[in-house]
Amino acid sequence: MTPSGSLLAATGLHKAYGPTPALAGADFSVHPGEVVAVMGPSGSGKSTLLHCLAGIVRPDSGTVRYGARELSELSDSERSALRRSEFGFVFQFGQLVPELTCSENVALPLRLNGMKRKQAEAVALEWLERLEVTEVGGKRPGEVSGGQGQRVAVARALVTRPRVIFADEPTGALDSFNGERVMQLLTRAARETRAAVVLVTHEARVAAYSDREIVVRDGVARDMAGVS
């Protein structure tokens, strides 16, 4: 049963890669505007959980519901459309397109959704300003610092005003100062737009920006709310 009021929820997820189980009955939920940190040791299943929640990986059993929709019942093209418009992604190393300028990288999701170039670039510049990196708009990713590049990646994730943002170790490649600033800007922008954030991290200082923590061990997710 989907938790009341949740935007995205998983129930009883199982996923194995060959003989190795990655998820063994994991449950999860996140509400609009909520930031949930998914923590756990390496190999615990936290990235697999994120990939199932985002519709990238199909679980062997269990359900993932986004609003009224069951992700496993959607076609590949329907799930791809969700990831282009209603889901946003921030990865550890940004994964910006090196041949494009930073502004063009941010505008790319809008262009893929059919927005005209001039309008998409104008929206991209607004998001670069919100993430405090307007000065790098005309530069390519290889010409900016790691902290600047990750802010550009956050702007790209937010530019379509997604309802869910999946952030997989978003500060893992940054020093502590830049990591803190990226998290401040990401969580502030997400809360302003009422986007839910699923934040995979192994760092307590990053998880501190969340409203709630989920710990994944041996493929099972445990909500730490109220756990002393």
pLDDT band at 92 (very low <50, low <70, confident <90, very high): confident
pLDDT band at 55 (very low <50, low <70, confident <90, very high): very high
SS3 25: strand
Task: Of 98-102, 125-129, 141-145, 189-193, give the lowest mean pLDDT range.
Answer: 189-193
- Is the pLDDT at 104 greater than 90? The verdict is yes
* Per-residue buried b or exposed e for 180-198, using 16+ beta carbons within 10 Å of the residue's own CB: bbbbebbbebbeeeebbbb
Q: Contact at 8 Å (CB) between 7 and 196?
A: yes
pLDDT in tens, 113-152: 999 999 999 999 999 999 999 999 999 999 999 999 999 9
CB hemisphere CA count around 57 (13 angstroms): 20
Quick one: average pLDDT of 33-45? Answer: 91
Quick one: average pLDDT of 65-81? Answer: 92
Q: What gap in Å lies between CA 86 and CA 162, rounded to an integer?
A: 4
At residue 228, the pLDDT reads 39
Quick one: average pLDDT of 190-198? Answer: 93
pLDDT band at 84 (very low <50, low <70, confident <90, very high): confident
